[in-house]
Chain A
Amino acid sequence: MLDTILAILHMCIFPGGVFALAVALFFKALDRRIAARVQRRVGPPLIQPVLDIAKLLTKETLIPRTAHRAAFIMAPVLAFTGMAVCAAFIPVPGVYSGLTNMGDLLVILYLLPIPAIALMLGAAASSNTFSSVGFSREMLMTLAYELPLIMILLAVAMLVGKETGVGAEFSLANILSYQAANGSLGFHPVMLPAFVAYMIFLPGTMGVAPFDIPEAEQEVLEGPLLEYGGPLLALYQIGSALKTFVVLGLGVALFFPGTLCDFWPVNLVWFVVKCFLLMLVTLTVVKAATGRFRIDQAFWFYIKFPAVLALISLVLVWWL
């Protein structure tokens, strides 16, 4: 009983829910601000993501007459809850070690595509031509970036499992303790290709330029999000913000979980700073400097580079 309550608290307050949302919205504001700065603009105020969500809550909700009502409303809720649960599985090194200590990497692997699937569900339910185009693009993108992700996680699990002698280690807590003892995986020469692959995976899964093809506003009028407005769109935005936290936190936990000292607030801040640096390199700078791929280019890009890099890591782990 106590475990259940604790798990729900972890999902709602820390590190999922409130904490993740606060960090993610702050990151989003910084992201927009820095992207503006590198383009010699001023950019929006730091409170802007909160204002956007407040604005969306005051707008009226329009549901198309031809839409499947239940699925249309369910999809954003699914995206939000899926990510709120997933955030509870992200360990904060030195502060919080994850919801369970066995097999949570697999759970994260299952929960991560939920926003994309919810987006596809909503797009299919909204009965709009442009949404359908966005739906098919989103599906192709998901296929493209899930393949490297699976191989990256497998490479990490196999490396740690081989060293500790259990075959494949799918527990994030054990991966963290292994890294605490033997140094971060990001500095491990074998894992370097996998880390680069993870960095390329990030903009794809977050749907930012140059991989914002499903939500391309000039081509398909924001694709799957086309028919959404008001509070439902706000839910999507919150879900997407939580996903930023999840993928960045997962990257930090997998590759650079080092802690500074035993004092937990310092570790917490250090974790947030590392997440921010990862976002700066992989999302903000790339977003500010690039245009948009075509969908076939993006698909083959993911098959050619991150998948091959992750495969190299996987094969090296297997052999060495």
Chain B
Amino acid sequence: MAGFLKVLLRNVLQGPSTDPYPLGPTFSPDSIRGKVVVDPTMCIGCGMCVHVCTAGAINIQHNENGHVITIYRNSCCLCANCHLYCPTGAITLTDDWHSAHEQAVKYQQIEQQHIDYEPCLGCGTPVRVMPLALVSKLYAGKPDVDPEHVRHLCPRCRQMEDAVRTYNLQHPEAPASGNDEA
């Protein structure tokens, strides 16, 4: 009987445990999953995020001069599958959970990044410039490779370069012999 009175008295003495938000500051746990952001320098438009997205909130549109990745925050269920499966780590979930907004700006709640292609240094076709981090990872043990040059090549031209470098061929313009040897 007196047990609950003891609890009540203790509560009064301890004072309110209320978080002052939104009148004051609040806290965010380390592992909180907030708004999704895309790093435009890392996204290669592979489409893995579109494939794994639970809510179907991600859309990637390819055209000849680049691709556009769009994430609809009002559909995103914050499951972080895209972050888990993204091969380049381009998608991350921030700790920004301030999601309330008025109806007027409902359709502006998107994360959109335009990734433009640049002409390949070898053949001139429009190509997604490889992220620098990815290049340095790929050519980690090869100090003779210039990452800035390699990342501006299309996959086919890069294969050529690799073949030329690996087998010490003199003429990169003679692909037939290189391929035969391989």
Q: Do A and B interact directly, with beta carbons closer than 8 Å?
A: yes
Interface residues of A (CB under 8 A from B): 36-42, 285, 288-289
Inter-chain contact B12/A38, CB cutoff 8 Å: yes
Inter-chain contact B12/A42, CB cutoff 8 Å: no
Q: Which residues of A contact B12 (CB under 8 A)?
A: 37-38
Q: Which residues of A contact B177 (CB under 8 A)?
A: none
Q: Which residues of B contact A288 (CB under 8 A)?
A: 8
Jot down 18 A-B pairs with beta carbons below 8 A, ordered by A: A36-B16, A37-B11, A37-B12, A37-B16, A38-B8, A38-B11, A38-B12, A39-B11, A40-B11, A40-B16, A40-B17, A41-B16, A41-B18, A42-B18, A285-B8, A288-B8, A289-B5, A289-B8
Q: Which residues of B contact A42 (CB under 8 A)?
A: 16, 18
Distance in angstroms between the alpha carbons of A289 and B7 in the assembled complex: 9
CB of B99 within 8 Å of the partner chain: no
- Closest-by-CB residue of A relative to B7 is A289
- Closest-by-CB residue of B relative to A43 is B16
Q: Which residues of A contact B14 (CB under 8 A)?
A: 40
Q: Which residues of A contact B15 (CB under 8 A)?
A: 40
Inter-chain contact B17/A289, CB cutoff 8 Å: no
Distance in angstroms between the alpha carbons of A36 and B8 in the assembled complex: 11
Distance in angstroms between the alpha carbons of A191 and B32 in the assembled complex: 61
Q: Which residues of B contact A40 (CB under 8 A)?
A: 11, 14-18
Distance in angstroms between the alpha carbons of A288 and B8 in the assembled complex: 9
Residues of chain B in range 1-53 having any CB-CB distance to chain A below 8 Å: 4-5, 7-8, 11-12, 14-18
Query: Assuming A40-B16, A40-B18, A41-B18, what are 16 further A-B pairs, CB within 8 angstroms?
Result: A36-B16, A37-B16, A38-B8, A38-B11, A39-B11, A40-B15, A41-B16, A42-B16, A42-B18, A285-B5, A285-B8, A288-B8, A289-B4, A289-B5, A289-B7, A289-B8
- Closest-by-CB residue of A relative to B16 is A42
CB distance from B7 to the nearest CB of A (A): 8
- Closest-by-CB residue of B relative to A286 is B4
CB distance from A49 to the nearest CB of B (A): 20
Q: Which residues of A contact B16 (CB under 8 A)?
A: 36-37, 40-42
CB distance from A178 to the nearest CB of B (A): 34
CB distance from A152 to the nearest CB of B (A): 23
Q: Which residues of A contact B8 (CB under 8 A)?
A: 38, 285, 288-289
CB distance from A301 to the nearest CB of B (A): 15
Q: Which residues of B contact A289 (CB under 8 A)?
A: 4-5, 7-8
- Closest-by-CB residue of A relative to B19 is A42
User: Which 8 pairs show the lowest CB-CB distances between chains A and B?
Assistant: A38-B8, A42-B18, A40-B17, A42-B16, A289-B4, A40-B11, A38-B11, A40-B16
CB distance from A203 to the nearest CB of B (A): 15
Distance in angstroms between the alpha carbons of A179 and B165 in the assembled complex: 112
Q: Which residues of B contact A285 (CB under 8 A)?
A: 5, 8
- Closest-by-CB residue of B relative to A36 is B16
Q: Which of A40, A285, A288, A289 has the most CB of B within 10 A?
A: A40
Distance in angstroms between the alpha carbons of A40 and B14 in the assembled complex: 8
Distance in angstroms between the alpha carbons of A288 and B7 in the assembled complex: 11
Distance in angstroms between the alpha carbons of A285 and B1 in the assembled complex: 13
Distance in angstroms between the alpha carbons of A47 and B153 in the assembled complex: 71
- Closest-by-CB residue of B relative to A38 is B8
Distance in angstroms between the alpha carbons of A37 and B12 in the assembled complex: 6
CB distance from A280 to the nearest CB of B (A): 11
Q: Which residues of A contact B11 (CB under 8 A)?
A: 37-40
Q: Which residues of B contact A41 (CB under 8 A)?
A: 16, 18
Distance in angstroms between the alpha carbons of A40 and B18 in the assembled complex: 7
Residues of chain B in range 113-137 having any CB-CB distance to chain A below 8 Å: none
- Closest-by-CB residue of B relative to A284 is B8
Q: Which residues of A contact B17 (CB under 8 A)?
A: 40
- Closest-by-CB residue of A relative to B17 is A40
- Closest-by-CB residue of B relative to A289 is B4
Distance in angstroms between the alpha carbons of A36 and B17 in the assembled complex: 11
Distance in angstroms between the alpha carbons of A79 and B120 in the assembled complex: 85
